[in-house]
Amino acid sequence: MRILLVEDDHRVAAALTAALRRRGYEVEHAATVAAALSAAPCDLVLLDLTLPDGDGTDLCRDLRRRSSQLGIIAVTARGEERDRVLGLRAGADDYVVKPFSMVELQARIEAVLRRAAQAAPEPNLIEVGPVHIDVSARTVRVHGREVTLTRKEFDVLLSLARQPGAAVARDRILLDAWGTTFADRHTVEVHVGSLRGKLGDPRLVETIRGVGYRLRSG
């Protein structure tokens, strides 16, 4: 899960980047409007509204015009009602006033990402190698054989199948399957272990050390 942090205070940015990376996020830092507009694609933007080369509210509008699915949270010292209204009307999904706790920010990130995931269109049928998933029917077949999964096992598999062949972070799996990243990460390991056994080939779900898991596409 990739976050773009737009913050001109380098001390604040360094502390936030470290805290977010400890929680499993990939973070890119941009200190200016220009750097933010040229940054790589991401899942969510944490946006300070006070920037040295432009107004963060205008940047928010530009980012929203680029993508209706992008999560945007304004993270700023501007706490007046007028500023909050302007930020939200510019396209921000949420608005956090400094100072804030990481627990609060984490909860807001999860809420915005959940809404974005629910709004994004998803194919009804997903095929990854020998694994065939019917999302609406919540059924799974491997090499044509139907596999019975629990609700959480299916959600874990679906989280992996949405990014076939790519490493999916444990926090991303927790968010997709449990709706939070505060759950015990050991829970993911237990469900992945059970999933491997039911799929019939443990090699289909590969452990990516220090990151998470990958559903092999070939």
Cα–Cα distance measured from residue 149 to residue 156, given in angstroms and rounded to the nearest whole number: 10
157 and 83 in a common domain? no
Residue 143 lies in a domain: yes
Residue 132 lies in a domain: yes
101 and 14 in a common domain? yes
Nearest to 102 by CA among 211, 205, 208, 12: 12
What global pTM score does this model have?
0.63
Cα–Cα distance measured from residue 31 to residue 216, given in angstroms and rounded to the nearest whole number: 37
Mean pLDDT of the chain: 90
For the cut 80, the answer to whether the pLDDT of residue 180 exceeds it is no
> What is the reported pLDDT for 119?
62
141 and 71 in a common domain? no
Mean pLDDT on 173-196? 84
Distances (CA, A) of 130 to 116, 127, 194, 204: 29, 7, 18, 9
108 and 129 in a common domain? no
DSSP assignment, residue 40? P
For the cut 90, the answer to whether the pLDDT of residue 172 exceeds it is no
CATH classification of the domain holding 64? 3.40.50.2300
For the cut 90, the answer to whether the pLDDT of residue 81 exceeds it is no
Query: Of 7-11, 75-79, 90-94, 115-119, which gets the smallest average pLDDT?
Result: 115-119
Percent residues over pLDDT 70 in the chain: 95
Residue ranges making up the domain that contains 151: 125-215
The answer to whether residues 9 and 99 touch, using CB atoms and an 8 Å cutoff, is: no
91 and 141 in a common domain? no
